[in-house]
Amino acid sequence: MKLNFSHAVLLEDDLLIAPDFYQYFRSLRRALDTDESIFCVSAWNDNGQISLVTKDPQLLHRTDFFPGLGWMINQRHWLRVRKVWPKTQYDDFLRLYMLKNGLVCVRPELSRTFNIGRSGGRNCQLSSRYTYSSKFYHNYLSRMALNRFNVTLTKSAVDKVIGRLG
């Protein structure tokens, strides 16, 4: 609030970022600022396992599920949500907040972040005896696709997510 930023990107400390991570958010600021139904832009695709995604780095989606794992919010939405921000479990809170308010996030087909396998501040050790979190990492998170190229989103790719329902 003191610095009066127009946008903020929130990034957890256990994520790798794609070569176009910053350009991705820069390209999607217009969508976030012109379409009031867009609450955030996320760099993460929850359904982004390598076997499930196309290889199109221009493909974007609207979702009513808060994806997290690297996301941008603008000042307009922050000023509204900060009044009711919870002390814990912000991701669950934002999922409900978005649903109650008819909001969506924009997410990529190919994630711009990759979780490197930390959970609760501890590294998930992949061994023959998995803990729940390391088994989850091994079976799910480690198989996510990450965009590997420096891509500038086209105007038409961005326009496709503005002002329509997913």
Most distant CA atoms of the chain, gap in Å = 50
User: What tokens were used for 92?
Assistant: 């669950």
Active site residue: 14, 33, 35, 91, which one? Answer: 91
CATH of the domain at 110: 3.90.550.10
| Mean pLDDT (the chain, rounded) | 87
Per-residue pLDDT tens for 147-157? 999 999 999 99
> Which residue from 27, 18, 128, 34 is spatially nearest to 70, judged by alpha carbons?
18
Question: How is 98-126 classified by DSSP, letter by letter?
Answer: HHHHT-EEEEESSBSEEE-SEETTEEPP-
| 163, part of any domain | no
- Give the pLDDT confidence score for residue 127 in this predicted structure: 38
Question: What's the total number of domains in the chain?
Answer: 1
| 17, part of any domain | yes
**How many residues in total does the chain contain?**
166
| 85, part of any domain | yes
Please name the helix (run of DSSP H) or strand (run of DSSP E) that holds residue 9, with its range, or none.
Answer: strand 7-10
Classify residue 65 by its DSSP letter. Answer: S
> Which residue from 46, 43, 3, 14 is spatially nearest to 26, judged by alpha carbons?
43
| 149, part of any domain | yes
Let me know if 159 is a catalytic residue: no
| 37, part of any domain | yes
- Give the pLDDT confidence score for residue 133 in this predicted structure: 64
| 2, part of any domain | no
Range of the domain at 67: 7-155
User: Side chain identity at 17, as an amino acid letter?
Assistant: I
Per-residue pLDDT tens for 11-30? 988 899 999 999 999 999 99
